[in-house]
Structure 1
């Protein structure tokens, strides 16, 4: 749950000057379950369009996202703990704790925990895109409530366009 804290004497939209967005760990919505969980932290509507952010935890070498690209947003991956493989264009980078990878709009990217490892990532899209419903949609797919092909119908809505990657497919898995 997001709390908006206006500066004394000010009001307005979330994320505007003078306001903070505060998300308490215990109140953040979690979608999915091990080996892949996503903690929804702040969506675009909570930040005045500035950013969308979530924390993704992958266990035992789990995949995070298949190759895709965003037309409007850059995506930042900050590895909090563990080891992750991150596709950035045609390069696969192995990231460790404290490593940062920023992928510009239009560049294909993907991520997964390194083989046999766990990964804990903070992911930020800027400018923000409403992403929480996208992750809820992924959960509905995992539960069998809708088919995976339904993602193709919402690519434009979530600015999440799937693509192929020879570099990603060639990883030693």
Structure 2
């Protein structure tokens, strides 16, 4: 089916590694979804061995780390996350909504091919602290 309505797509909770939700669409070679994270939430630091990812911010702001770079992303920003790049983020404000595309399609879920670094807790604590500081200054 080539046409979809966002309102008709099933919402799935990303409980495996982050407290968000997404509405997936899978094709032959790629998968995509509208992903929503609520205030203060975000993914655990992780990487994808076989998947690359594009993120287009539709609504809200997030503090995001990709590799060694960190910054605030907001509506209109596009982020490319190469295969193997460590990434994680925290939502600033009430919520952040993003359109995420990954390739290859795999089984069609956005929560596949996830690997965690040994220092994930330290990275997460740093991101939490940065999100607190940025939210306090907003």
The within-5 A match list for 1:13-162 is 21-32=2-13, 36-43=19-26, 47-48=27-28, 50-63=29-42, 65-114=43-92, 116-132=93-109, 134=111, 158-162=112-116
CA drift at 1:128: 1.9
| More deviation, 103-112/23-32 | 23-32
Show CA shifts across 1:4-48 (max 9, x none).
2xxxxxxxxxxxxxxxx3222222010239xx54232312xxx11
TM-score, normalization by structure 2 = 0.76
Unmatched 5+ residue regions in structure 1?
5-20, 135-157
Q: Which has the higher contact order (CA 8 A, sep 6+)?
A: 2
TM-score, normalised to structure 1's length? 0.62
The number of equivalent residue pairs is: 123
Report the CA distance shift for 1:131/1:162 in structure 2 as closer, same or farther (over 3 A): farther
Which runs of 5 or more structure 2 residues have no equivalent in the other structure?
A: 133-138
Q: Once superposed, what is the RMSD of the aligned Cα atoms? A: 2.3
Runs of 4+ in structure 1 over 4 Å off: 165-168
